[in-house]
Amino acid sequence: MNDAPQPLRLTVRDLSKDYVVRVLDGVQFELRAGEIHALLGANGAGKSTLCKIIAGLIPATSGTMTLNGVPYSPADKRFAESQGVQIVQQELNLIPTLSVAENLLLGRYPQRWGIIDRRALHAQARVALDRFGLTEIRTDRSAGSLGVGQQQMLEIAAALDRNCELLILDEPTAALSAGETERLFQRLAELRKQGVGIIYISHRLDEIAKIADRLTVLRDGKYVSTHAVSEFQPIERVIDLMTGETQAALHALQNHRSYTTERTMIRVAGMSRAPAVRDVSFSVRAGERYGIAGLVGSGRTELLRLIFGADRAESGELFLRGETESRRFHHPQAAVAAGLAMVTEDRKQNGLLLSQSIRVNTTLSSLELLTGAAGVINRRQEVAVVEAERVRLQIHARDIEQSVGTLSGGNQQKVAVAKWLLKEADVFLFDEPTRGIDVAARRNIHQLFDQLAAQGKALIIVSSDLEELFETCDRIGVMSAGRLVSEYTRETWSYEAIMQDCFSGYTQQATRTVSGITS
């Protein structure tokens, strides 16, 4: 590593932001040219607020900033962009109905008298995508037809295609597959060499250990400290700074305990819906946590949706609780009635009613348990039940009437889970259960997996975070290009083996599938 100090790209002094309460309180930050600087903290620590101020999305209440040594107080995003400050936010900001090229060059279309030069548009977009290694994305596709991972890559490519001296990435890899993440990191390393300063927000500590030079920790809107990443060996020790907690609980989780019983709870046989899912078979026992690993786009979400009846399967059968008669669900309602529950990947899209209260969201699936004659809801009982779930899952909110959209990601996810706990399902499908949520909430969710397993539930957990599957699961199945290519137990799995399997379906005409049920 180069020890000669690079010039300062950005300094932030005593920056504060007040809404109803103070969300940023006298924060210090600095970023050198050619540095990747990670910003760490639990959800609500103020990372996103700080980045939004730097990117000109919101104004600061007080404090000063300099950019390349010159006082800097962006009035809006446009000004910040003109100064070379680009932000890629956690939420996707693409316009789904426009083409890839139109999104990529939004606001700076090659034109003459207001008429877009389509050829130049696509040519420029092609160059920008190729430079980022996204050669497989056609520029005339509509952005909405891309997978979430590709959309994320497209947004980053668009930011880099503008004048970019300071790049802010907020959870860029949350939706990316391992391969895409690798590609992104290569690109970031190149940018670092070119002197671009990068602010990097991520909950994935292994990524930070891998790519960042320094890190700054925020806690409850306050500046904690700045360190070289190399000071933390292993990187998990930085969690102590973020939460002030010891790692006892983390270690406790690693002492994995199996609750797997002999009883098969759900068996999936030959589930198919081409091209996303091809002939997938596996089974999960009562008390077992079955992880599904795979690259983004390998068909994991689609598989869960087929099982849950959200999409129609072309073929395939389900056997529940050892029954000999097969089932296939044509609507989630049938799946729920049969004892299935699914916590979806995209909470905002299809998991939660954001503008409704915690109470309404929690009881939505189980109102029939709270109703008397004529479909009238017993309010008192409803409130009691929701309060109980709120305590059990440690949902942090003012009260149960707070609208879910105003909660942090972690608490939103807990509400999405609470909905199904009330329902007392036998089989739980979790799709990316801890994506984009903070360390503490993630731990709560993992503890909940443990409790559910102990109660004899069957859990199917899809996650792009292999560490998470290692921590929580009894077995892991790997999907690649729509097929379930392998299964591992705690004794047999390894990071390298699973990663290889993840890619196997794409590198060759893989036809190998798991036959029968292991162990």
Partner 1 sequence: MTDAPAPVIETSAVDSPRSQRGSLLSSLLQYAGLVGVLMLLILIFSLMSNNFLSKQTLITIANQIPDLLVIAVGMTLVLIIGGIDLSVGSLLALSSAVMGVCMVNYGWPLWAAVPVCLSVGAFCGMLNGVISVKAGIPSFIVTLGMLEMARGSAYLMTDSQTKYIGSSIEWIGVPLKGFAFSPAFLLSLVIVALGQYLLTRTVFGRYCVAIGTNAEAVRMSGIRTAPCSIAVFTISGLLCGLAGVMQTSRLSTADPNAAVGLELAAIAACVIGGTSLMGGRGSVINTFFGVLIIAVLQTGLAQIGATDPIKRVITGAVIIIAVLLDAARQRWKRRG
Chain positions contacting partner 1, by CB under 8 A: 19-21, 23, 42-44, 48-49, 220-221, 243-245, 248-249, 252, 308, 310, 331-333, 335-337, 342, 344, 349-357, 360, 364-365, 367-368, 371, 374-377, 379, 394, 396-399, 401-403, 405-408, 410-411, 419, 423, 438, 440-441, 443-444
Given the complex with partner 1, which of 183 and 396 has the nearer CB atom? 396
Q: Residue 259 or 488: which CB sits closer to partner 1?
A: 259
Return the number of the residue (119 or 398) whose C-beta is nearest partner 1: 398
User: Rounded to the nearest whole angstrom, what is the least distance from the CB of residue 478 to partner 1 in the complex?
Assistant: 26
Residue 74 or 409 with smaller CB distance to partner 1 = 409
Nearest to 6 by CA among 162, 188, 194, 224: 194
Report the distance separating Cα 301 and Cα 92, nearest Å. Answer: 19
Closest CB 406 distance from partner 1, rounded Å:
4
Shortest Å, Cβ 93 to partner 1: 18
| Token couple for 420 | 């199904």
Strand partners, 319: 267
How far apart, in whole angstroms, are the C-alpha atoms of residue 431 and residue 346? 9
Query: Looking at beta carbons only, is 76 or 117 nearer to partner 1?
Result: 76
- Name the helix (H) or strand (E) containing 275: none
Virtual torsion, Cα 81, 85, 89, 94, nearest 10 deg: 30
To partner 1, the closest distance from the beta carbon of 23 in angstroms equals 5
Q: HSE of 22 in the Cβ direction (CA atoms, 13 Å)?
A: 13
CA dist 460 and 336 (Å) reads 15
Tokens at 401, concatenated:
């009437």
Comparison of 103 and 444: residue with beta carbon closer to partner 1: 444
Q: Closest Cα partner for 99 from 159, 145, 134, 130?
A: 145
Whether residue 454 contacts residue 286, with contact meaning beta carbons closer than 8 Å, is answered with: no
Please say which residue, 235 or 416, places its beta carbon nearer to partner 1.
416
Coil, helix or strand at residue 149: helix
Neighbouring C-beta atoms of residue 469, cutoff 10 Å: 24
Residue 319 CB, shortest distance to partner 1, in Å, is: 20
> Between residues 120 and 369, which has the closer beta carbon with respect to partner 1?
369
Residue 70's CB is within 10 A of a number of other CB atoms, namely 8
Q: Decide whether 44 or 294 has the Cβ nearer to partner 1.
A: 44
Q: How far is the CB of 336 from partner 1 (least distance, A)?
A: 3
| For partner 1, the closer CB: 428 or 488 | 428
Q: According to DSSP H, which parts of 177-270 are helical?
A: 178-193, 205-211, 239-243, 248-254
Give the CA distances from residue 99 to residues 37, 324, 492, in Å, rounded to whole numbers and listed in that order.
Answer: 33, 49, 45
Minimum gap (Å) between residue 235 Cβ and partner 1: 20
State the Cα–Cα distance between residues 402 and 356, nearest whole angstrom. Answer: 8
1 vs 21, which CB is nearer to partner 1? 21
Bridge partners for 16 per DSSP: 62
Question: Residue 256: phi, psi to the nearest 5?
Answer: -70, 140
Q: How far apart are CA 127 and CA 129, in angstroms?
A: 5
Closer to partner 1 by Cβ: residue 221 or 297: 221
Quote the least distance from Cβ 331 to partner 1, whole Å.
6
Q: How far is the CB of 141 from partner 1 (least distance, A)?
A: 23
Q: Using an 8 Å Cβ cutoff, are 271 and 281 in contact?
A: yes
Residue entry with tokens 């990601």: 409
Shortest separation between residue 310's beta carbon and partner 1, angstroms? 6
**Cα 71 from Cα 48, distance rounded (Å):** 22
In the complex, least distance from residue 357 CB atom to partner 1, rounded to whole angstroms: 8
Nearest distance from C-beta of residue 208 to partner 1, angstroms = 20
Q: In what order do the strands lie in the sheet with 289-294?
A: 340-343, 427-431, 458-462, 289-294, 475-480, 483-489
